[in-house]
């Protein structure tokens, strides 16, 4: 992954908390993706200002001892492959 | 002791198809509106639609597809979009593009419209207008440009059949040229108007196979830029489609006059009394109404569905197709090779006319079924009719997990059932 990449959600996608289902969703035309685990906390950091490196550092601070570097970079790459992150 | 309250386990609906009007400038012979179209004088007023949007949000609906007919013919469309946005609904306009100029788009974008799905009938303007039954192609092209100029996500919806399947590569190229993000290639489902026109619309296996190969080739080239969605036909492979993701499981439809059902084809089911939003809340309709519970789950099933391993994945196929072809909505969908009625589908598929153009289109029209000449009227008098507005279900949601904390693979859900 490019460490200078500043991930941001694609323009047509909303990250939204669903109160009725108590779930975090990615909402896009014709599709809803239900986020589990800490996916939403990672994606909320994808604001187009933070670099991928900043995001990893921030999560390492929040979750000391978790294998953040590998897990988060892999996750961001997969979400980008889906076309949901730019 | 009270019986356990299993309504708690009932899924909330993800999608609402709001058919705001049946009026439409187009006359597509596969229109998804019922044969008996609702007249404008019987349409729900603004404040009723605003209430429907509010109740949809409270019920858990995430997507609303503002459809028709042609929803732009409702002068109060912006007020309805605004009500949906206030309820946190993701709003998609499903339109023929006729009447979608910059000023109208600005009005809708200002109240928060999220995305636009535009129909086109073929990549070739002459054939597109022959299918639509009126001059319309240039207006669609302009509408697409206006949407892109404003940066709204744009999808293209093309209903596929014998009369346009051979142009599939040109159709996909048209979507590229128009700057769309998504192309829905929806093979015709034969209900209502499409059933009337089945003789001229039904493709054969070879034509479908060629088209599907072309889609797969293009899909690789377009990966990451344009999403291609292939809505499978069900007359040819002996497999029933998991229609709507299950009856009353994923989404609901409200008609122009306020009747609510799990899908827009279900208005043709005899003996099914559609509840009306004028009389009941959406919550009651979803949870309590007889219509929404009629084919929920698998208790209603007969053999061979009842004991079938696929019953929880294909839900017995489509109730409307079972009814249309056998007269009994509780039978197995005849599209399934395990159905005792499968021969009906096989016989229909084998009995296609050699020359589809010898059979004129029965164009969709308010107040009766008419058969205009099978040539494109270049200046057809606009009369109310509609494009096929996808029975737009929200796909059963997929899940994506992320670290830290377990499974982290974004997974795709199934494509929308139709």
Judging contacts by C-beta atoms under 8 Å, the chain A residues touching residue B182 are: 29-30
Report whether the peptide linkage leading into residue B404 is cis, meaning its omega lies within 30 degrees of zero. yes
First-last CA distance in chain A? 13
Count residue pairs from A and B with Cβ separation < 8 A: 129
The pLDDT, as a whole number, for residue B368 is 58
Can you give the pTM of this predicted structure? 0.87
- Range(s) of the domain holding residue A53: 14-82
- Chain B nearest CA to A36, separation (Å): 4
Domain count, chain A: 1
CB–CB contact A83 B224 (8 Å): yes
The pLDDT, as a whole number, for residue B369 is 54
The 10 Å Cβ neighbour count of residue B30 is 27
> Nearest-CA residue of chain B relative to A39?
B402
Q: At what angle do helices B137-149 and B102-110 cross, to 10 degrees?
A: 40
> Nearest-CA residue of chain B relative to A72?
B403
The pLDDT, as a whole number, for residue B365 is 87
Domain membership flag for residue A34: yes
* CATH code, domain with A77: 1.10.10.1150
Domain membership flag for residue A24: yes
B24 is in an annotated binding site: yes
Domain membership flag for residue A66: yes
The pLDDT, as a whole number, for residue A18 is 94
CB–CB contact A75 B60 (8 Å): no
Judging contacts by C-beta atoms under 8 Å, the chain A residues touching residue B155 are: 29-30
- Closest residue by Cα to residue B376 from B29, B24, B22, B23: B29
- Spatial separation of the C-alpha atoms in residues B178 and B196, rounded to whole Å: 32
CB–CB contact A25 B62 (8 Å): yes
The segments of chain B whose pLDDT lies below 70 read: 1-9, 367-418
Domain membership flag for residue A9: no
Judging contacts by C-beta atoms under 8 Å, the chain A residues touching residue B12 are: 20-21
CB–CB contact B400 A29 (8 Å): no
B305 is in an annotated binding site: no
Please state which of the ranges A43-52, A75-84, B172-181, B363-372 shows the lowest mean pLDDT: B363-372
- Chain B nearest CA to A2, separation (Å): 18
Judging contacts by C-beta atoms under 8 Å, the chain B residues touching residue A43 are: 402
Domain membership flag for residue A57: yes
Q: Are B19 and B37 in contact (CB under 8 A)?
A: no
Quickly list DSSP for A55-77.
Answer: HHHHHHHHSTTS-HHHHHHHHHH
Domain membership flag for residue A3: no
The 10 Å Cβ neighbour count of residue B40 is 15
The pLDDT, as a whole number, for residue A82 is 86
Domain membership flag for residue A5: no
CB–CB contact A37 B405 (8 Å): yes
- Spatial separation of the C-alpha atoms in residues B97 and B94, rounded to whole Å: 9
pLDDT band at A8 (very low <50, low <70, confident <90, very high): very high
3-state per-residue secondary structure call for B171-211 = HHHHHHHHCCCEEEEEECCCCHHHHHCHHHHCCCHHHHHHH
Judging contacts by C-beta atoms under 8 Å, the chain A residues touching residue B400 are: 26, 33-36, 39, 79
Domain membership flag for residue A6: no
Show Cβ contacts of residue B116 under 8 Å, excluding neighbours closer than 6 positions: B92, B93, B95, B100, B147, B152, B153, B154, B155
């Amino acid at each position: 992954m490019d460490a200078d990449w500043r991930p941001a959600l694609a323009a047509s996608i909303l990250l939204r908390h669903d109160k009725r289902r108590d779930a975090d969703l990615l909402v896009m035309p014709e599709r809803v993706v239900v986020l589990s685990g800490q996916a939403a906390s990672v994606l909320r950091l994808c604001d187009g200002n933070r670099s991928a490196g900043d995001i990893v550092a921030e999560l390492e601070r929040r979750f000391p001892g978790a294998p953040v570097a590998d897990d988060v970079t892999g996750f961001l790459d997969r979400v980008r492959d889906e076309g949901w992150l730019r | 002791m009270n019986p356990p309250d299993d309504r708690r386990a009932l899924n909330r609906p993800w999608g609402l198809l709001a058919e705001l009007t049946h009026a439409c400038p187009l006359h597509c012979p596969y229109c998804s509106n019922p044969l008996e179209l609702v007249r404008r004088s019987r349409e729900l007023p603004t404040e009723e639609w605003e209430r429907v949007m509010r109740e949809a949000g409270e019920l858990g609906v995430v997507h609303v597809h503002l459809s028709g007919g042609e929803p732009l013919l409702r002068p109060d469309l912006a007020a309805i979009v605004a009500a949906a946005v206030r309820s946190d609904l993701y709003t998609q306009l499903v339109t023929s593009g006729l009447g979608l100029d910059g000023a109208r788009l600005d009005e809708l974008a200002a109240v928060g419209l999220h995305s636009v799905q535009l129909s086109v009938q073929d990549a070739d303007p002459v054939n597109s207008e022959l299918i639509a039954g009126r001059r319309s192609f240039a207006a669609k092209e302009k509408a697409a440009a206006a949407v892109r100029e404003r940066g709204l996500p744009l999808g293209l919806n093309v209903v596929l059949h014998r009369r346009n399947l051979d142009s599939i590569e040109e159709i996909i190229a048209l979507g590229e040229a128009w700057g769309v993000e998504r192309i829905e290639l929806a093979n015709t489902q034969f209900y209502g108007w499409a059933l009337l026109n089945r003789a001229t619309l039904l493709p054969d296996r070879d034509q479908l196979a060629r088209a599907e190969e072309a889609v797969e080739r293009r899909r690789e080239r377009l990966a990451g830029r344009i999403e291609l969605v292939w809505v499978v036909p069900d007359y040819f492979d002996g497999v029933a489609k998991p229609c709507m993701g299950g009856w009353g499981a994923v989404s609901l439809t409200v008609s122009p006059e306020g009747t609510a059902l799990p899908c827009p084809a279900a208005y043709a089911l005899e003996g099914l009394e559609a509840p009306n939003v004028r009389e009941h809340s959406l919550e009651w309709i979803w949870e309590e109404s007889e219509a929404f519970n009629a084919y929920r789950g698998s208790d209603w099933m007969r053999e061979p569905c009842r004991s079938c391993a696929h019953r929880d994945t294909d839900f017995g196929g489509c109730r409307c197709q079972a009814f249309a072809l056998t007269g009994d909505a509780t039978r197995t969908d005849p599209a399934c090779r395990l159905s005792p009625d499968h021969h009906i589908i096989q016989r229909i598929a084998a009995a296609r006319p050699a020359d589809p153009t010898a059979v004129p289109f029965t164009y969709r029209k308010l107040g009766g079924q008419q058969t205009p000449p099978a040539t494109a009227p270049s200046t057809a008098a606009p009369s109310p009719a509609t494009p096929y507005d996808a029975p737009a279900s929200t796909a059963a949601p997929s899940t994506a997990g992320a670290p830290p904390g377990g499974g982290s693979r974004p997974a795709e859900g199934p494509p929308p059932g139709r």
